[in-house]
Amino acid sequence: MWLTCSTSYLISFKRDTKQTIMDDKSSTKIVLDIMDQFTGLTGLDPPSKPPSRYLWTDAFAVCNFLELWKRTGEEKYRNLALKLVDQVHQVLARHREDDPRKGWISGLGENEGRKHPTKGGLRIGKKLNERGPDQPFDEQLEWERDGQYFHYLTKWMHALSRVSTLTRDLAYKRWAVQLAKAAHSRFVYSVTHGGQKRMYWKMSIDLSHPVVPSMGHHDPLDGFITFSQLQVTATKDQKKPSWVDLTAEIADMEAMCRGKDWVTDDSLGLGGLLSDAYRVGQLIAQGDPAKTRMLLVLLDASMAGIKSFATQQTLHYPADYRLAFRELGLSIGLHAIERLKNLFEHQNNTFPGVQEIVARIDYLKRFVPIGEMIEAFWLDESSWRSNTWMEHRDINMVMLATSLAPDTYLTI
Q: Give the whole-angstrom CA distance, residue 390 versus residue 55.
A: 19
The Cβ-side half-sphere exposure at 4, using a 13 Å CA radius, reads 2
pLDDT band per the 50, 70, 90 thresholds, residue 25: confident
- Are 160 and 233 within 8 A, CB to CB? no
> Per DSSP, what are the bridge partners of residue 10?
none
Kindly report which listed range (211-225, 238-252, 323-337, 367-381) carries the lowest average pLDDT score. Answer: 238-252
Residue 387 confidence (pLDDT): 97
Q: Is the pLDDT of residue 3 over 60?
A: no
Q: Give the whole-angstrom CA distance, residue 403 versus residue 31.
A: 9
Q: Is the pLDDT of residue 145 over 90?
A: yes
Residue spans per domain, the chain: 12-19+261-412
SS3 228: helix
User: What is residue 113's DSSP assignment?
Assistant: H
Kindly report which listed range (21-30, 260-269, 282-291) carries the lowest average pLDDT score. Answer: 21-30
How does pLDDT run across 195-251, given as a tens digit for each residue? 789 999 999 999 999 999 999 999 999 999 999 999 998 766 556 677 889 999 999
Q: Give the whole-angstrom CA distance, residue 31 versus residue 322.
A: 22
The Cβ-side half-sphere exposure at 327, using a 13 Å CA radius, reads 27
CB within 8 Å of 231: residues ≥ 6 apart: 244, 245, 246, 247, 250
How does pLDDT run across 92-140, given as a tens digit for each residue? 999 999 999 999 999 999 999 999 999 999 999 999 999 988 899 999 9
How does pLDDT run across 296-319, given as a tens digit for each residue? 999 999 999 999 999 999 999 999
Q: Express as a percent the part of the chain with pLDDT over 70.
A: 92
> Per DSSP, what are the bridge partners of residue 178?
none
Q: Give the whole-angstrom CA distance, residue 50 versus residue 321.
A: 32
